[in-house]
Structure 1
């Protein structure tokens, strides 16, 4: 659960940082900002940035999910084997 919270918090922070950057640059150049376009551009920037910047936390999260899936599969197989014995 910790890995999920860390990764999600980092994604949100990356998006907000991208939004602030896009908003600030657009405001400095044009004097007014169409909010929808700023959000769309920030969303794309943060998505692309997360591919490189958040690789470590994403891998930790994926490993945690895989471990939980393996444990669940083992429990399922154990229960299935117990039914076969009964």
Structure 2
């Protein structure tokens, strides 16, 4: 659960930072900011940035999910084997 919270918080922070950067630059250059386009551009930038910047937390999160899935699968197989034995 910790890995999920960390990764999600970092994704949100990266989006907010990207949005602030896009809004600031757009306002400095044009003086007027269409918010919808700024949000779309910030979303794309944060998505691309997360590929490189958040690789470590994403790997940790994926490993945690894989561990939990294998535990659940093992428990299911044990229950299935016990049921077959009965």
TM category (shorter chain) comes to over 0.9
Matches within 5 A, 1:13-32: 13-32=13-32
Partner of 1:84: 84
Q: Which runs of 5+ in 2 are unaligned?
A: none
Matched, 1:6 2:6: yes
- TM-score, normalising length from structure 1? 0.99
Partner of 1:39: 39
Residues 40-81 of structure 1, C-alpha deviations (whole Å, 9 max, x = no match): 000000000000000000000000000000000000000000
Structure 1 consecutive aligned stretches of length 4 or more whose deviation exceeds 6 Å? none
Alignment RMSD, CA only?
Answer: 0.3
Matches within 5 A, 1:46-65: 46-65=46-65
- C-alpha distance in 2, partners of 1:59/1:41? 26
- TM-score, normalising length from structure 2? 0.99
SS state at 1:29 partner: helix
- C-alpha distance in 2, partners of 1:84/1:20? 59
Offset of 1:8 from its aligned partner? Answer: 0.1
